[in-house]
Amino acid sequence: MNFDPRMTFDSFVVGPANRLASAAARRVAEHPGRSYNPLFLYSASGLGKSHILTAIAHHALRQDPDREVVLQPLEVFLGELTDALERGQGTELEARYATLDILLLDDVQFLAGQKQAQEMLLRTLDGITSRGGQVALASDRPPSEMEDLDARLLSRFSGGLIVDLGPPDLETRVAIVRRKARDRGAELAPGVAEVLARSAFRNVRELQGALNRVLVLQELEGRAVTVEELPEAVGGLPQAPPGVAEESEWRQRLQEAVDEAEAEGFVTQPLTRMLEVEEEPEGWEKVLEGYLADLERSRQISRELEELGNPWPEAAATLLRDPGRLDESEALLASARERARSFPDIPPGPDLADLEEHVPALARRAADRLLTAERPDYNPLYVHSTDPDRARVFLEAAGRTHRSRVPEARVALISVEAFSNEFVDAISNGVAGAWRERWWTVEVLLLHGLEKLTATERAQEEFFHLFEALRRRDARILLASERLPSDLEKLDDRLRSRFEGGLVVELGDEPLPDALVTEEPAETPAVAEADPAPESAVEPMLAAGAVEDEIWSDGLGSDDTGPETVDGTDDLAALKELAGVGRARRRTDRRGGRTGDSPDDEDSDGGPWTPSRERVVWDWPSVDDRVVEDF
């Protein structure tokens, strides 16, 4: 098919009123089927729709001459359909259109009232787009103003990109006149292009017609037409109606900003609202300056999120398109920074083998089994010593040993005090959700100073949820304290049960040699502060993640029992005897009922069996959701 060689992107003069349409058309031509599909252009007559459709065809074929491209007005499409239906070949015609790489239809406003044509176009659109082809359409009105348009077609059009071409401003009209004259190899007298551009032609087509008359006259007389001769040369220059002035500076600057932002997909509502008024809006320069600053900051946030791996692309796509939601975007970035924050390195020092003469073999062996077994028989490992340095150094040695075997492992060594401070900071800065996600990625958790957990409230609850999440992910947990779990007052019974259900080992109380004692690592860097923003601005986005939905149960379905075997039953019994830990201890509920691991457990007092509290208590989002029946 032959296309008008004059209508290319190179010959199309771009201005504020058509910049978005031109940019979208170029992208469609360069990447058919991958960007805006379909692309729907609309404008009054003579503003460049047909030029852009033809330019798409030229550009697409220049990139790949083997592409099958069809460009035609809707009348031709309707004519082919009518002929095919009369011959009973409607299916064949539909199949032929569906195999196109690019379909470009002009004047689609004539679809109104054409039910069969709409039905065929609908199937054609679906056929082309499903194969990765591209569709672009042009009309003199937007789809929403087309009468009797099939709702399915309107939905397809809205699913792509609908963009209008406005009348060109003065500068663009001058550029059009000069470009057309230059393409014809003609020179215009000074001021001629400006006078033509200021005349009140209804569209570019009329402006081009006036220029054609000037150029023909110049060719006949062999001289340039002067400004004074213009009215006679073109048969009179149309004048703007009284009271209609040239487009003002404020409107031009706002429109340029709108076009640039919309071309990148940004929301421009603060500026477009001002463009809807007739008089110059008060304070428009300050509004424009603020919008442009927010726009640039949104771009910066987008780039930094990409560098951080953009953990929440759907939330980011929504927020970053709207500079007016910059506070929420900043909160999202702060959460992404928090989620990507690394855990502190374990300082150099001894590994488990270096502690052979100073730590009971049982403790070293138990830690090694927990870290290396594919399915460890006990998790967590709870070690206790009245010497806090001894317990901490043991956890550090276990971490170094694991790192030497698995260098890429995510190992977190932290004190309860630092953990609690981190949590408080995360809440204060509105990044608690991201803080949780960061901790849920840990593969080996080494927590010391566990006796201080009893002095906390919400941090103790938070640690319980982290504990459950890590166990479900088969992460390994090593805990260190000055006391046995049973001696930790004010410890949540659910945590106490889980600590005792693992393996509890005494480390001894003798101070380690100074050469083995490392300085306690500094706390993890503070959570990055964000601009004040409600936590709800980010948390709902994080709630959509795959990890959040399982954290807020109280360990339902988790195994509360201890290990069955290490290297055999006898070995396990020996470990238990040395460690002073029994399996599946029966405890008395606060309500007096017997608790155990199963209904089959016998009780010496013969009392009724009830499940342990942590197996039946659920945390619900609201009281209303918790009510089973109203009495």
pLDDT for the residue numbered 475: 93
> Residue 126: is it exposed, middle or buried by C-beta count within 10 angstroms (0-12/13-18/19+)?
middle
Residue 225 has pLDDT above 80, yes or no: yes
pLDDT for the residue numbered 236: 66
CA 598: distance to chain centroid? 45
pLDDT for the residue numbered 520: 64
Residue 485 has pLDDT above 80, yes or no: yes
Residue 253 and residue 221 share a domain: no
Mean pLDDT within 545-558? 35
Residue 313 and residue 218 share a domain: no
CATH code, 197: 1.10.8.60
The answer to whether position 582 is within a domain reads no
pLDDT in tens, 402-429: 999 999 899 999 999 999 888 888 888 8
Residue 270 has pLDDT above 50, yes or no: yes
Residue 350 preceded by cis peptide, ω within 30: no
Mean pLDDT within 179-192? 86
Mean pLDDT within 606-618? 40
Mean pLDDT comparison of 425-434, 443-452, 571-580, highest-scoring range: 443-452
The answer to whether position 30 is within a domain reads yes
CA distance 250 to 274: 10
- 511: which DSSP letter? P
- Best CA proximity match to 94, nearest among 123, 116, 52, 134: 123
Mean pLDDT within 463-476? 91
CB 281 within 8 A of CB 45: no
Residue 468 and residue 325 share a domain: no
Q: How many domains does the chain have?
A: 5
Mean pLDDT within 488-510? 90
Residue 280 and residue 140 share a domain: no
Residue 112 and residue 26 share a domain: yes
Residue 479 has pLDDT above 90, yes or no: yes
pLDDT for the residue numbered 574: 37
Query: Hey, what amino acid is at 498?
Result: R
The answer to whether position 226 is within a domain reads yes
* Residue 623 or 203, more confident: 203
Mean pLDDT within 475-486? 93
At 70, which helix (H) or strand (E)?
A: strand 69-73
What crossing angle do the helices spanning 74-86 and 90-98 adopt, rounded to 10°? 140
CA distance 290 to 284: 10
Q: What percentage of residues in the chain have a pLDDT greater than 90?
A: 27
CATH code, 117: 3.40.50.300
pLDDT in tens, 360-404: 999 999 999 999 998 888 999 999 999 888 888 999 999 999 999
Residue 220 and residue 86 share a domain: no
Mean pLDDT within 350-362? 90
Residue 238 preceded by cis peptide, ω within 30: no
Find the domain containing 204 and state its range. Answer: 170-233
CB 454 within 8 A of CB 491: yes
Residue 179 and residue 158 share a domain: no
- Best CA proximity match to 438, nearest among 406, 414, 458, 455: 414
pLDDT for the residue numbered 232: 79
What is the token pair recorded at 502? 């693992």
pLDDT-derived band at 628, boundaries 50, 70, 90: very low
Q: CB neighbours (10 Å) of residue 413?
A: 24
Query: Hey, what amino acid is at 349?
Result: G
* Residue 48 or 546, more confident: 48
Residue with tokens 């083997």: 66
In this predicted structure, which of 49-63, 166-180, 190-204, 557-571 has the lowest mean pLDDT?
A: 557-571
pLDDT in tens, 273-306: 888 887 888 999 999 999 999 999 999 999 999 9
pLDDT for the residue numbered 203: 78
The answer to whether position 550 is within a domain reads no
The domain boundary, picked from 471, 503, 523, lies at 523
- 3-state SS, residue 124: helix
pLDDT in tens, 139-168: 988 888 888 888 888 888 888 889 988 888
Residue 587 has pLDDT above 60, yes or no: no
pLDDT for the residue numbered 594: 38
- Best CA proximity match to 333, nearest among 354, 350, 310: 310
pLDDT-derived band at 536, boundaries 50, 70, 90: very low
CA distance 112 to 220: 46
Residue 103 and residue 63 share a domain: yes
- 3-state SS, residue 512: coil
Residue 237 has pLDDT above 90, yes or no: no
The overall average pLDDT reported for the chain is 79
pLDDT for the residue numbered 197: 82
pLDDT for the residue numbered 207: 85
The answer to whether position 346 is within a domain reads no
pLDDT for the residue numbered 247: 55
Query: What DSSP letter does each residue of 330-360 carry, written as one string?
Result: HHHHHHHHHHHPPPPPPPS---GGGGTTTS-
The domain boundary, picked from 107, 135, 164, lies at 164
pLDDT for the residue numbered 101: 92
Query: Hey, what amino acid is at 534?
Result: P
Residue 224 and residue 256 share a domain: no
Residue 522 has pLDDT above 80, yes or no: no
Residue 182 and residue 125 share a domain: no
CB 445 within 8 A of CB 438: no
Residue 377 and residue 334 share a domain: no
CA distance 100 to 127: 9
pLDDT for the residue numbered 73: 92
The answer to whether position 347 is within a domain reads no
In this predicted structure, which of 151-155, 440-444, 590-594 has the lowest mean pLDDT?
A: 590-594
Greatest CA separation for the chain: 123
Residue 122 has pLDDT above 80, yes or no: yes
In this predicted structure, which of 225-239, 286-300, 452-466, 553-567 has the lowest mean pLDDT?
A: 553-567
Residue 175 and residue 45 share a domain: no
What is the token pair recorded at 426? 């995360």
The domain boundary, picked from 106, 135, 164, lies at 164
pLDDT for the residue numbered 548: 35
The answer to whether position 420 is within a domain reads yes
pLDDT-derived band at 69, boundaries 50, 70, 90: very high
pLDDT in tens, 561-582: 333 333 333 433 433 333 333 3
The answer to whether position 157 is within a domain reads yes
